[in-house]
Structure 1
Amino acid sequence: MSKKNNKKRKNSGESPGRKTISAGQIKESVLHLFRQQSGKPWSIRQMIQTLGVRDKKSKNLVSEVAFRLEDEGIISRNRDGRFVSQQMPSALVGVVDHVNSRFAYIICAELDEDVYVKTDDLEFAVDGDTVKFELSGKFHGKKHREGRVTEIVQRKKDEFVGKLQLSKRFAFVIPDNRKIHNDIFVYPEHINNATTNDKVIVKIDRWHDRTNKSPVGKVVRVLGKAGENEAEIHSIMAEFDLPFTFPEEVISESDKISESIPEKEIAARRDFRGVTTFTIDPEDAKDFDDALSIKFLENGNYEIGVHIADVTHYVKEETILEKEAYSRATSVYLVDRTVPMLPEKLSNALCSLRPNEDKLTFSAVFEMESSGKIVNEWFGRTVIHSDRRFSYEEAQAVIEAGVGDYCNELKVFNDLAKLLKNKRYKNGAINFETIEVKFKLDEQGKPLGIVPKIRKDAHKLIEEFMLLANKRVAEFVFGQKTESGRKTFVYRTHDSPNEEKLHNFTLFAKKFGHKIDLTDENLSSTLNKLIDEIEGKPEQNVLTSLAIRSMAKAKYTTAANGHFGLAFPHYSHFTSPIRRYPDMMVHRLLAHYLKGGKSVEQDKYEPMCVHSSDMEKRAADAERASIKYKQVEFMSMAADKIFDGIVAGVTEWGIYVEIIETKCEGMVRLADLNDDYYEFDEQNYRIIGRNNKRMITLGDEVKVKVTNTDIDRRTIDLEFANEK
C-alpha cells in the first residue's frame, strides 16, 4: 500500500510546471539550470520552456528571478541579452537525514528547503554524513527538490551500537539507530567473544558499496544482554558518544584540589555568611548550583542575593580539568543516572552549595522594592553559608501552609517571583510549558510507573530569580561600551520564529479547533492565549511541543542579540556552572570585566559557543532517547490495556498517537488498517479511506492498544482499539 501511495504521489503532477509552484521553487529551478550547464547562455524563453512553466504568473516569476540573480552577481547578461553563470558551483554540500529506508533528506544551509534523495541515489552515505549533491530539477511533493549525492565529504562516525546476531559462519550487528538502515557484517574472528543478542559497539573497517551491500566491522566493546537496563543505557551513551568515565588524569587533578578555604580568599570576597541563605532543589539532587539569600533592609526594601557556585575558582584555564569540562560542555541527565561535566569531588562536594558549610560563590545581588522594582545591583565574588537545604516539595509545603522554616522569607521570594513573571509576560514572554515525565524505577532500573512532573510555585520561584540573574548579568556587560564597540560576551539568544514554520503551526492548531491570528502585532500574547486555552486539554502537550518546534532554537553566541521566548533584549547563562560550560565562560568574562579588563577576542569565544550549542543538542537527544527507552519498556507491559490517545501526527506510512495517560507516543501503521485502502492527504494532515471515506486527522481523540514494542529501535506499535 505504501508503494502505491508513493507512486500516486510521484505521478500526481508535483513538478516545476504545476501552477502551485512558488517563487522559492522557481529560484532553485533556475539556479539548477546554471549549475548543471555552467557556461551555457540562457534566454528567459529558454528557461521557461526547459522548466515546463506554463501559467503567466510563473513565467513572470522566472523573469523576476533571473534579474534578481543578476543583481546579486550570481549570473550576468551577455550582449545578446542571454544570461550566463558566474562561477556557479556544480554541487552543493549538506548533511544527510536518512529518515526512511527508501529515502533521505539533505539539509543544506544554502537552500531554503531540505532536498529529497532516494536511498539508491545516496551513493551509500548514511545518516549524519556530510555529502556533495546535485539537484535534479524535479520536485517531491510541493516544496522539496529532488537530488542525488555525488560524493561523501565526511563520515559522521565509524562506530555504531547494535544487537549482535550470530550464526556458524558469520555475524551481523543490527544498529539501534533507526536512521541507519544497513546491518553491519562481522567476521566470526572479530566478534570479541560476544554472543547472540548482546548489545555491542562495532567499528566500521570497510563501508558498503555496489559490490558489498553491507558495511564490514569489528566488535570493539560488549555492553551486555539486550533488554537489560545497564546494557541499554550504555547503548544510548555509546550511540551519542557520551563518556563512560573520567580519564585518570582528570580524577587525579581534581583529587589534588584542597577542600579548605584560606582566610585570605575569604577576606577578598563579600561575606554573606551571616545572611539568611538556603537552596531549593529536586529531592534527589546532589549538585547544588544556586542559593538564595534575603536581608530585610531598614528602608523597607529587600536585599536579594542569587549565589552561584564559583566553579572557575577551582577549575583553572589551561588545566586538564578545564579541557575535559570544555570537551563535555554539559552534564547529561539520563533517566537513571547523570553523565556529569565535572568529576564528583567538584560537582557534588567542593562546588556544591551544601547546607551548613562555607562555600565560595559568584553572586548577583539586588536591592528590590516590594513592587519588584530593582533600585540597585552588584555583581562579584562572595562567600556564603547555606542555612537550609529545601527540596521543591518541602518549600512548596511551607509556601502553601504559611508555616515552617523560613516561611516569611519564602513568602517574600514567592511574591516577588510572581511580580517578575507577570512583568515578563507583559513585556512579551511566551509561557511554553510542556508536560515532562519522570519514572518510578525499581533497583534493576525497571519502570514501575510514569508520573508527570508538576511545576508549582517553588519551582517557578527559583526559575524567576535565575532568569533575573542571567538577564541582568548580560545587560550589565552589554552596557559597558568600549572605543571599538561592545565588549565580547557569551549570550544565550533565541531568534524570532520563521514565518513559514509559524504558518504551518497555525494550520496544525486549526486542526485541533484553535485559531491563531498571525496578523496580530503582539504575537506573544496570541500564543499565550492559545496556551491558556489548551491548558488541561488532551492536546496540550502535543500542541505545546509543536509550538516549540516551530520556534527558532536557542543557542550560545557572542552576538548580542535578544531572546524572543523570554522577551529579554539580552540574556546569558550565569547560574549553572557545575553543569554547563557556557556559564563558566560567563563567570570568567564577568570577573575579567569587573576588574576593568579589556574586551577579549571574539574569534576565540565564538567557536566555543558553537561547540557548547552542539553538545547541548547531543545531550538533549540522549536524554530523549533514554526517556523513550523507558517509555517503550513500560508500555511493553501494557499489551492488553486500552488507552485514550490523541492523533499527534499523520504521515504517508502511519498515524502517530500520543497516549494521554503516559505521554508515550506510538504509531498505527497504515499497512495494518485492513478495512480499506487509505490515502495520505498531506495538505490537511489526514488519511482518507478510498471506499468508506473514513477520515483520521490531526487532533482526533482515539482509543488504542499496544501490539508490539521494540526496545532496540525504541518504537511502540499501536492499533485502534476497535480494529480487528
Structure 2
Amino acid sequence: MKRKILHNNLATGFINITSYGYAFVSINGKQNDIFVSKKNTNRALEGDLVRIRFLRISNNRIEGKVLKILKRKRKNFIGILKIQSHSSKYGSVVVYNKTIHVDIHIPKKKLKGHFHNEKVLVRIISWPKNFNNPLGEIIKVFGLSGEHKTEFYSLLEEYGIPYEFPKKVEKEAKEIGLKKNFDTNQRKDMRNINTFTIDPIDAKDFDDAISIRKLNTNIWEIGIHIADVSHYVKEGTLLDQEAYIRATSVYFVGKVIPMLPKILSNNICSLKPEKDKLSFSFIFNINREGKILKSWIGKTIIRSNRKFTYEEVQKIIDKKKGSFYEEISTLLFFSKILTQKRIKNGAIFLDKVEIKFHLDKNKNPIELYLEKNNDAHRLIEEFMLLTNRKISEFVSLNIDGKPTKKTYIYRIHEKPDFQKIFVLKKIIEPLGYFLNVKNLKESINHLLKNVKGKSEKNMVENLILRSMSKAKYSTKNIGHYGLSFNYYTHFTSPIRRYSDIIAHRLLDFYLMKNKECKSKIKSVDFYEEQSKHCSYQERIAVDAEREFSKFIQVKYIKKYLGEEFYGIITGFTSWSVYIDLLLFQTEGMVLLRDIKEDIYTLNSNNYNNSIIGKKKRKIYHLGDKVKVKLIDANVEKKQITLDWIQ
C-alpha cells in the first residue's frame, strides 16, 4: 500500500457525511473529493463549510482532517424524540431524513412536558469536544409521530412551505374583492358563446374554460380562456411578493396549500359558472381536418355556462348524450387529431396513472385506487398543450417564421441521460420488453403501448419518467424534448403557478402598442432569476407531495403485514434490493442479509447491476419478478421492509 504524508496543505470545502460516519469534502479545483475518516470529522455535520488539512495520499486517494467548521449548513432539525427511561441523563432526537448522521441529545432537565415518540423541531446548542453527540433544545412540538396532522405540519416546516398568509397580504387580497375591477371596454366580449369548465371533482379554483361555436359546415371557433390573474395581482405588491415566494400551489393528499389567498384563487380569479369573469384568451378557427386557419390572442370577458367534472364529461362521451353533448363530442374529435399530430411529430405519449386515496373522517387511508386518464382528461390536456405552444410561438416567432428575440419564459426539457435509459433498458428486458436507444421516442411509445393493461404498466411508466430529464423554466429556449415542441411555455394555470403569471405579464407587454408599456419589460437576467426560482420551488413542492404520499402509502399498507405479494426488482445497493410492489404501486426493500436461500452480494457491472448467490451462483437481475412477504411498514422512516420468499 502506497502512502505519502502531506504537510501544511489547507483547503476549504463542503462536507458530505455518510450514514456510516465517514465523509467526503468537495473542493473547488480538485477533481476527486477528499476522504475524511469518522474520527477526523471533528463534529462536522452534513453540508457544513469546513477547513481541512490534507494528511496523506493512500491508495491514490487524498485523506484529510477537519480542522474547523466555518459555517453550519443548518442548526435546526426535525426528528422523533426517544425517551428510553427516566433514569437516563438524556433523551434523543432521531432524524430519519439523512440531514444529520447522529442523534441529537436533549438534557433531562429540558425534557419536562415532553413525551416519547413526539415529532419535534430541535436546535443544536452545543457539541462539547468529548461528546459523541451534539446537545440540543426542543423549540417546537408537532404532535405524536405517525399522526396525520403531525406529519402534515412537520413536513411543511421541513420544506419551508408557508401554511398561512401574512395578515397584510390577506388584507390586500380582500381589498381587491371590494373594487370594481372590470375594464370591459378594453376586452373582447365572449359572454354570449357556449363556455364551460372541466375539472377534478374536488377542484375549488378554475384556471381555464373552453368555448366553442360552429361558424359553418366546415369551420368551428374554439376559445381557450385562462383566468386573468395578472390583472388582479399587480407586480411589486405584497400579494405579488408572497405569490412569488411560494411560486406554486402544493397538493397534498386531502389538502391544498394555495399560492394565492382563497378569496382570489377560489373566488375572484376563478372562472366560476354564471359569473362575468376576466380572462386572457387564445381563440382560433379550425376546420374539420384539424387545421388552424386563423387565431387571435388577447384579453376577454367570459361567462361560463356550466362547471363540469371529468367524470360528468366522460359519462356524456360514453352515453353519447347529455348537456353540451355536441360541443363536447366536437372538442373530443379535434383533441384526437391534435394528439395524433403530436405523436407523429415525435412526442412521447405517457398516459400516466395516479395513485389516489380515500381518507376516513380521522384522515386515515381506507382505500387505495388508481386514477386513469380518460377521454375527458385528454380533451382538456390537448387544448392546454396547444395553447401553451401557440402562445410561446406567438411571442417567439415573426410572421415569416424567424425568431423575434423577445424575452420570454419557456418550459424546457432536455434529452434524457443515456445512463438512465440504459438502466431502464436493463430493467424491462427480463419482462420481455425492448428499447431501441437509436430511435428512442418511437421505441418508448411502442413500449408504452405494449405495457397497456399489464400489471407492470405503472411501474414501467414510473421508470420511464425517472429516466427522463426534469422539465424546468428558463429564458434560454432549447425546446421541449418529451412533447417535441420547439417552443413551449406554461400559460394555462396562473392561479396555481407563478411561472404562468410571468408568461401573462410578458405577453401583455408585447400586445400593448405604446412604448411606455414596453419599457416596463425588465432585463433577461431578471426573468431568468425568476425562472430559476419557479423551477426550484416546483421541485420542493414535488418532493414534499411525494414524501407525504409515501407516508399515506406506508400507513395504508400496514394493514397487510404478514401477507405475500409479487414485485419487480427495480434497484440494488451493496446491502439491499428494492422491489416495486405491483398491487400497491410502491417500493419496498429486502435486506441482502435476510435472504435465506443463499448469501447474496452485489455484482456491479457498469449499469447492469445484479446480485449473485455465493453457493448456488443464482443471479437476480433488474426487472426480475419475485415473491415477497410484507414484514414491516415503518411510518417514522416512511419505509416498507419485505422478506424474500424462495
TM-score by length of 1: 0.80
Task: Specify the alignment match of 1:531 in structure 2.
Answer: 448
Tell me, yes or no, if the aligned pair for 1:488 and 1:600 is still in contact at 8 Å.
no
Amino acid at match of 2:383: F
Q: Does 1:214 align with 2:133?
A: yes
Task: Specify the alignment match of 2:94 in structure 1.
Answer: 174
Q: Secondary structure at the match of 2:560?
A: coil
User: Structure 2 residue aligned with 1:326, among 232, 240, 244?
Assistant: 244
Tell me, yes or no, if the aligned pair for 1:670 and 1:678 is still in contact at 8 Å.
yes
Task: Specify the alignment match of 1:559 in structure 2.
Answer: 476
Q: Deviations over 1:25-74 (max 9, x none)?
A: xxxxxxxx9xx999xxxxxxxxxxxxxxxxxxxxxxxxxxxxxxxxxxxx
Task: Specify the alignment match of 1:686 in structure 2.
Answer: 610
User: Structure 1 residue aligned with 2:629, among 705, 711, 722?
Assistant: 705
Task: Specify the alignment match of 1:621 in structure 2.
Answer: 543
Coordinate RMSD, CA, aligned: 3.2
User: Structure 1 residue aligned with 2:435, among 516, 531, 548?
Assistant: 516
Amino acid at match of 1:516: L
User: Structure 2 residue aligned with 1:455, among 347, 352, 373?
Assistant: 373
Task: Specify the alignment match of 2:168 in structure 1.
Answer: 249
Q: Secondary structure at the match of 2:176?
A: coil
Report the CA distance shift for 1:105/1:233 in structure 2 as closer, same or farther (over 3 A): farther
Q: Does 1:374 align with 2:292?
A: yes
Report the CA distance shift for 1:193/1:657 in structure 2 as closer, same or farther (over 3 A): same
Between the aligned partners of 2:398 and 2:76, the Cα distance in structure 1 is 47
User: Structure 1 residue aligned with 2:461, among 535, 544, 564?
Assistant: 544
Unaligned runs of 5+ in 2: none
The correspondence of residues 308-707 of structure 1 with structure 2, limited to 5 A, is: 308-479=226-397, 486-518=405-437, 520=438, 522-596=439-513, 597=518, 600-683=522-605, 684-707=608-631
Moved more, 322-331 or 549-558: 549-558
Report the CA distance shift for 1:189/1:667 in structure 2 as closer, same or farther (over 3 A): same
Report the CA distance shift for 1:677/1:448 in structure 2 as closer, same or farther (over 3 A): same
Q: How big is the shift at 1:533?
A: 2.2
Report the CA distance shift for 1:321/1:447 in structure 2 as closer, same or farther (over 3 A): same
Q: Secondary structure at the match of 1:486?
A: coil
Between the aligned partners of 2:196 and 2:620, the Cα distance in structure 1 is 53
Tell me, yes or no, if the aligned pair for 2:317 and 2:328 is still in contact at 8 Å.
yes
Q: How big is the shift at 1:688?
A: 1.5
Between the aligned partners of 1:449 and 1:471, the Cα distance in structure 2 is 38
Between the aligned partners of 2:435 and 2:30, the Cα distance in structure 1 is 28
Amino acid at match of 1:404: G
Between the aligned partners of 1:245 and 1:699, the Cα distance in structure 2 is 45
Report the CA distance shift for 1:147/1:600 in structure 2 as closer, same or farther (over 3 A): farther
Task: Specify the alignment match of 1:23 in structure 2.
Answer: none
Between the aligned partners of 1:200 and 1:664, the Cα distance in structure 2 is 27
Q: Deviations over 1:471-496 (max 9, x none)?
A: 11111111259x99611111110011
Q: How big is the shift at 1:163?
A: 1.2
Amino acid at match of 1:717: T
Q: How big is the shift at 1:108?
A: 9.1
Report the CA distance shift for 1:119/1:296 in structure 2 as closer, same or farther (over 3 A): farther
Q: How big is the shift at 1:181?
A: 2.5
The correspondence of residues 130-149 of structure 1 with structure 2, limited to 5 A, is: none
Between the aligned partners of 1:531 and 1:91, the Cα distance in structure 2 is 50
Q: Deviations over 1:146-172 (max 9, x none)?
A: 876867675443322111123543222
Between the aligned partners of 1:484 and 1:452, the Cα distance in structure 2 is 43
Task: Specify the alignment match of 1:187 in structure 2.
Answer: 107
Q: How big is the shift at 1:432?
A: 2.7
Tell me, yes or no, if the aligned pair for 1:709 and 1:716 is still in contact at 8 Å.
yes
Task: Specify the alignment match of 1:57 in structure 2.
Answer: none
Q: How big is the shift at 1:127?
A: 4.4
Tell me, yes or no, if the aligned pair for 2:15 and 2:23 is still in contact at 8 Å.
no
Report the CA distance shift for 1:370/1:260 in structure 2 as closer, same or farther (over 3 A): farther
Amino acid at match of 1:193: G
Q: How many residues align?
A: 631
The correspondence of residues 225-244 of structure 1 with structure 2, limited to 5 A, is: 225-244=144-163
Q: Secondary structure at the match of 2:224?
A: strand
Tell me, yes or no, if the aligned pair for 1:512 and 1:698 is still in contact at 8 Å.
no
User: Structure 2 residue aligned with 1:716, among 626, 640, 643?
Assistant: 640
Q: Secondary structure at the match of 1:237?
A: helix
Task: Specify the alignment match of 1:79 in structure 2.
Answer: none
Amino acid at match of 1:333: Y
Between the aligned partners of 1:369 and 1:123, the Cα distance in structure 2 is 72
Q: Secondary structure at the match of 2:285?
A: strand
Between the aligned partners of 2:375 and 2:302, the Cα distance in structure 1 is 25
Report the CA distance shift for 1:650/1:513 in structure 2 as closer, same or farther (over 3 A): farther
Task: Specify the alignment match of 1:196 in structure 2.
Answer: 116
Between the aligned partners of 1:503 and 1:134, the Cα distance in structure 2 is 40
Q: How big is the shift at 1:611?
A: 1.1
Between the aligned partners of 1:412 and 1:99, the Cα distance in structure 2 is 58
Tell me, yes or no, if the aligned pair for 2:569 and 2:578 is still in contact at 8 Å.
yes
Q: Secondary structure at the match of 2:391?
A: helix
Between the aligned partners of 2:107 and 2:507, the Cα distance in structure 1 is 56
Between the aligned partners of 1:308 and 1:115, the Cα distance in structure 2 is 53
TM-score by length of 2: 0.90
Report the CA distance shift for 1:300/1:119 in structure 2 as closer, same or farther (over 3 A): farther
The correspondence of residues 278-297 of structure 1 with structure 2, limited to 5 A, is: 278-297=196-215
Task: Specify the alignment match of 1:21 in structure 2.
Answer: none
Amino acid at match of 2:106: V
Q: Deviations over 1:348-394 (max 9, x none)?
A: 11111111111111111121112221111211111111111111111
Identity across matched positions, percent: 38
Q: Secondary structure at the match of 1:646?
A: strand
Tell me, yes or no, if the aligned pair for 2:276 and 2:303 is still in contact at 8 Å.
yes
Amino acid at match of 1:719: D
Report the CA distance shift for 1:129/1:273 in structure 2 as closer, same or farther (over 3 A): farther
Between the aligned partners of 1:341 and 1:404, the Cα distance in structure 2 is 35
Tell me, yes or no, if the aligned pair for 1:131 and 1:149 is still in contact at 8 Å.
no
Tell me, yes or no, if the aligned pair for 1:330 and 1:615 is still in contact at 8 Å.
yes
Report the CA distance shift for 1:529/1:641 in structure 2 as closer, same or farther (over 3 A): same
Q: How big is the shift at 1:697?
A: 2.2
Between the aligned partners of 1:125 and 1:528, the Cα distance in structure 2 is 48
Tell me, yes or no, if the aligned pair for 1:651 and 1:682 is still in contact at 8 Å.
no
Tell me, yes or no, if the aligned pair for 1:172 and 1:183 is still in contact at 8 Å.
yes
Q: How big is the shift at 1:636?
A: 1.1
